[in-house]
Amino acid sequence: MKFHQRVAVVTGGGQGIGAAAALHFLAHGARVAVLDLDCHPLAQALSAIPDAAARCIRVAGDCTEPAVVSAFFDRVEAELGPVDILFNNVGQSARERGGPFVESDESTWRFVIEVSLLTAMRASRRVAAGMRDRRFGRIINMSTDAAFAGDVGLADYAAAKMGVVGFTRSLARELAPHGVTVNAVCPGAIRTRAHERLKPEVLARIVANTPAGFVGSPEDVAAAVGFLASDDARFITGQTLLIDGGRWMV
């Protein structure tokens, strides 16, 4: 029970990678709080873990709304206690609105940057001071290997997620003297509902360029997040871990 008595927050944790990470933390003894527009898929999976439902707060809300995020953290701290682990998982590409940059719209860029970068900064700002003062904390930020590969049709998403990498490194250096680690994970082709919304030609190109030759699972990413959140990773900070079957190598 490596996360016994730890409090973990997962943004966008209602399904996919976020839900897999929430279930991983719960299976290892943590108390978990999730903020997502739709928490039903996670709620249905909780029965597989003893007492998980009693240790998991699920709040339906928009992670891009500052007031919603503030109220969520107020509730987490009141009901579970100070946050030990933050997984800034929420984010998305332009999906069906994606396409060549020269044909893109600024309103789409702003949405992608808001949901994929600013949400991580906002949530981190809420918990970082407390982690610093308690001299313990783990922040894991969600980026993507598309930020490194520069996939066509994902210019706004790649820009936002490379911003996550820069944010991770800067915050890691700031908090390292206080016992707080900050790292980023960069999944590639992962079997999620959101990933399936990519245009077929984009998805096919990504899979074809993956040396492992298959699409990963949300649990593959959750395992890496769990490691970075554990005491075993206490000497790892400011790092970017690509989980993409070898598509891009740092």
> 185 with 241: CB under 8 angstroms?
yes
Type of residue numbered 97: R
- Cα–Cα separations (whole angstroms), residue 91 to 64, 136, 212: 10, 26, 25
Nearby residues of 197 by Cβ (< 8 Å), 6 or more positions away: 95, 96
- State residue 235 phi and psi, 5-degree precision: -105, 15
Is 1 assigned a catalytic role? no
Burial (CB count within 10 angstroms: exposed 0-12, middle 13-18, buried 19+), residue 205 = middle
If one counts every other C-beta atom within 10 angstroms of the C-beta of residue 100, the result is: 9
Q: Name the catalytic one among 87, 136, 157, 167.
A: 157
* 85: its two tokens: 């682990």
Active-site amino acid positions: 157
